[in-house]
Homo-oligomer: A and B are copies of this chain.
Amino acid sequence: MSLLLDNQFKELPPDKSVDTKLFLETVSHIPAFFDCLGSSVFSVIKSDINGNITKIRGVYLKDPAKYVTLQDILVAEREAHAAEWPKVGATLALMWLKRGLRFIQILLQSLADGDRDENNPNLIQVNVTKAYQQALKKYHGWFVQRIFQVALHAAPYRSNFLKALSKGEEVKEEDCLANVRQFLVNYTATVDAIYEMYTNLNAELDYTV
């Protein structure tokens, strides 16, 4: 069951800084999203993302007063680990986490926009592929890209996916998509703000795994 839509992200302040504590609280509900994909094998992705969150939380909890915003963490790590930064600590964890968050954002947006394969209207492969190409593909080498191709075959049906997003209740598709759109407002703004921060701080890397 996904609690995704129940845990709305907060509206950003005008300076678009992301409050670390609020972010961690809300984002910790995201890994459950991967349960809606059906196969337990997606727990691999869930635990990668959980690992990112745990790492960021670990840094935050060392000094909550110092790390009020996500940017406070990146700036402090840049000073503390000049040689390795940004491939280090919570900066690296958030670099990858934001890509997983972007993947989810584009997937949900694509469903909300009604993108579909007219010949297979109950499949979400087009939406998943769009999200993958825009959010992750360039950071994956041939091996992980081929794993993705296989994983794509295990994507759930659209109807089951939307039902899972609605916690298994039989809600009308339009109602579910209205919830998705509502969810996406602050979520997208938060993910955009994190991407912008990586660009501004020159913290983005494009190595592949």
Chain A contact residues, CB within 8 Å of chain B: 39-41, 44, 47, 141, 143-144, 146-147, 150-151, 153-154, 209
**Copies of this chain, how many?**
2
- Do B209 and A41 touch across chains, with their CB atoms under 8 A apart? yes
Q: Smallest distance from the beta carbon of A89 to chain B beta carbons, Å? A: 18
- Do A39 and B153 touch across chains, with their CB atoms under 8 A apart? no
Per the bound structure, the CA–CA distance linking A44 and B146 in Å amounts to: 15
CB neighbours (8 Å) of A151 from chain B are 143, 147
- 19 A-B residue pairs with Cβ-Cβ distance under 8 Å, sorted by A, are A39-B141, A39-B143, A40-B209, A41-B143, A41-B144, A41-B147, A41-B209, A44-B44, A47-B47, A143-B150, A143-B151, A143-B153, A143-B154, A146-B150, A146-B153, A147-B147, A147-B150, A147-B151, A150-B150
CB neighbours (8 Å) of A147 from chain B are 41, 147, 150-151
Per the bound structure, the CA–CA distance linking A144 and B143 in Å amounts to: 15
Q: What would 12 more interface pairs be, CB under 8 Å, given A39-B141, A41-B144, A143-B154?
A: A39-B143, A40-B209, A41-B143, A41-B209, A44-B44, A47-B47, A143-B150, A143-B151, A146-B153, A147-B147, A147-B150, A150-B150
Shortest Cβ distance from A39 into B: residue: B143
